[in-house]
């Protein structure tokens, strides 16, 4: 016996686990326990044991698959693996040995003999499989593997179908709720606009600070709610491919200028410089003016949101090839983790801890749901364009910044396939 030896025991059945554990501990071994093969593999990598004792029927991989896997790990390839199983049929034993298991102990356990059996395997005993049995055992094992693989692929496909169905239900639910909310909200929004322009209310507001504060709070919230509901409806329309672009000649320099002007107060308040040279921007192109304005507004809004006070934002338009314009919005903000970059254009995706930077997200309208970039992508792709981002990573202290690119065809017929 090697009293200091460590044995990893992989078994999902509680009763077997406690009996074997007790016997091994009584014999002076240190025992590590795992209930699943994958947990056993992880544990063996972290604390390489002197021997691995495993059940064959485990909830994830079988004991045979576990042996094949461990034999490919240089640090564990030489560790004896002993199967402890109720499968007493000779053929199962052969299959198990063919998979690379060194020993085979059948249940019920011979409690008196068990410690010396373990000691023998620790000392190097291996059970040989005679040549005549090897080939059919290996073939049967391969077949077992393929059958299990097939069953798992089928199960995964069924889960995927279920997930897609649930995703559709979720989309329909969101869309329906947003539509149901929009009707009463449009009325409330209309009244709040009327209230703002009513001379009688203007007089009360001018005289009474409390009424002024109440009314401003109410109108701000209604406007924000209206913007969020519209955002959800737009993104649902874009995602379902049911968007009818209202294509007309447009002046992108003017549209971008308007967006910059809209954000000017927010940028000034936060001492952010926005460089924009309208002469670079196309004066004549074709597209859906309202949707392009929405997309550009989301990009500039994000640049402002994710750039701490005093930063710089640069808007550019370049012409990488005839008939196409490449717009970019570059900021000196917190940046975006490379792992997150491919998800941020998905609906409802909000990256990292957005409270990390000095700006409060809620200080800006329409943000926070993770829909802004999904809208941008929907709009750009509906125009036959592409959108992507470059950022070295997210670092709220060093501020590496991000640059969002949008490439669009200048004419309708120049859409890429």
Site residues (CB under 6 A) for ligand ADP?
298, 302-303, 306, 331, 333-334, 336, 344, 349-352, 354, 367-374, 402
**Minimum CB–partner distance for residue 199 and ligand ADP (Å):** 37
**Minimum CB–partner distance for residue 264 and ligand ADP (Å):** 18
Distances (CA, A) of 195 to 202, 204, 214, 221: 8, 11, 12, 14
Report whether the peptide linkage leading into residue 108 is cis, meaning its omega lies within 30 degrees of zero: yes
**Minimum CB–partner distance for residue 299 and ligand ADP (Å):** 8
C-beta closer to ligand ADP: residue 183 or 362: 362
C-beta closer to ligand ADP: residue 40 or 366: 366
C-beta closer to ligand ADP: residue 96 or 302: 302
C-beta closer to ligand ADP: residue 333 or 409: 333
Beta sheet of 81-85, edge-to-edge order: 30-34, 6-10, 51-54, 81-85, 103-106
Distances (CA, A) of 409 to 254, 284, 324, 385, 413: 18, 12, 4, 6, 8
Distances (CA, A) of 201 to 196, 213, 229, 393: 7, 13, 27, 50
Asked whether 256 and 278 are in contact (CB, 8 A), the reply is yes
Query: What whole-number distance in Å separates Cα of residue 206 and Cα of residue 211?
Result: 9
**Minimum CB–partner distance for residue 223 and ligand ADP (Å):** 16
**Minimum CB–partner distance for residue 324 and ligand ADP (Å):** 23
C-beta closer to ligand ADP: residue 48 or 368: 368
**Minimum CB–partner distance for residue 246 and ligand ADP (Å):** 23
C-beta closer to ligand ADP: residue 56 or 294: 294
Distances (CA, A) of 109 to 9, 84, 86: 15, 9, 9
**Minimum CB–partner distance for residue 342 and ligand ADP (Å):** 11
**Minimum CB–partner distance for residue 272 and ligand ADP (Å):** 12
Of 190, 161, 223, the C-alpha closest to 364 is 223
Contacts of 311-314 spanning 24+ positions with Cβ under 8 A: 311/272, 311/273, 311/399, 312/272, 312/273, 312/275, 313/267, 313/272, 313/273, 313/274, 313/275, 314/274, 314/275
Question: Which residue in the shown chain puts its C-beta closest to ligand ADP?
Answer: 372
Query: What whole-number distance in Å separates Cα of residue 281 and Cα of residue 274?
Result: 15
Query: What whole-number distance in Å separates Cα of residue 133 and Cα of residue 153?
Result: 30
C-beta closer to ligand ADP: residue 319 or 348: 348
C-beta closer to ligand ADP: residue 31 or 235: 235
């Amino acid at each position: 016996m090697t009293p200091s030896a460590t044995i990893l025991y992989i078994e999902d059945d509680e009763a077997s686990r406690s009996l074997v554990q007790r016997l091994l501990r009584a014999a002076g071994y240190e025992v590590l326990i795992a209930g699943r093969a994958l947990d056993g593999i992880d544990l063996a990598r972290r604390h390489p044991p002197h021997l691995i004792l495993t059940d064959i029927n485990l909830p994830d991989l079988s004991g045979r698959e576990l042996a094949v896997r461990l034999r490919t790990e240089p640090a564990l390839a030489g560790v004896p693996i002993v199967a402890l199983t109720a499968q007493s049929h000779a053929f199962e034993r052969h299959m198990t040995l063919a998979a690379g298991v060194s020993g085979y102990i059948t249940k019920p356990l011979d409690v008196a003999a068990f410690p010396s059996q373990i000691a023998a395997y620790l000392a190097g005993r291996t059970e040989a499989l005679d040549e005549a049995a090897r080939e059919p055992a290996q073939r049967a094992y391969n077949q077992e593997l393929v059958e299990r693989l097939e069953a798992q692929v089928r199960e995964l496909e069924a889960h995927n179908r279920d997930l897609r169905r649930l995703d559709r239900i979720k989309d329909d639910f969101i869309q329906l709720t947003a539509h149901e909310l929009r009707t009463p909200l449009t009325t409330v929004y209309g009244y709040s606009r009327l209230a703002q322009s009513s001379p009688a209310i203007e007089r009360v507001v001018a005289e009474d600070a409390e009424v002024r504060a109440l009314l401003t709070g109410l109108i701000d919230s209604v406007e924000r709610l209206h913007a969020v509901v519209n955002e959800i409806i737009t993104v649902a329309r874009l995602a379902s491919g049911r968007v009818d672009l209202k294509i007309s000649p447009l002046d992108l320099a003017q549209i971008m200028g308007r967006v910059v002007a809209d954000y000017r107060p927010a940028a000034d308040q936060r001492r952010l410089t926005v460089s924009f040279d309208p002469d670079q921007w196309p004066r004549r192109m074709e597209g859906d003016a309202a949707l392009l304005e929405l997309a550009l507004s989301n990009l500039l809004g994000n640049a402002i949101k994710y750039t701490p006070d005093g930063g710089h934002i640069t808007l550019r338009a370049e012409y990488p090839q005839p008939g196409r314009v490449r717009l970019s919005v570059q900021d000196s903000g917190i940046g975006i983790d490379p792992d997150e970059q491919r998800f941020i254009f998905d609906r409802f995706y909000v990256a990292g801890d957005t409270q990390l930077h000095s700006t409060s997200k809620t200080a800006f309208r329409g943000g926070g749901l993770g829909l802004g970039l999904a809208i941008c992508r929907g709009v750009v792709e509906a125009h036959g364009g592409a959108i992507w981002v470059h950022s070295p990573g997210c670092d709220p202290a060093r501020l590496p910044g991000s640059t969002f690119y949008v490439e669009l065809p200048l004419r309708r017929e120049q859409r890429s396939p």
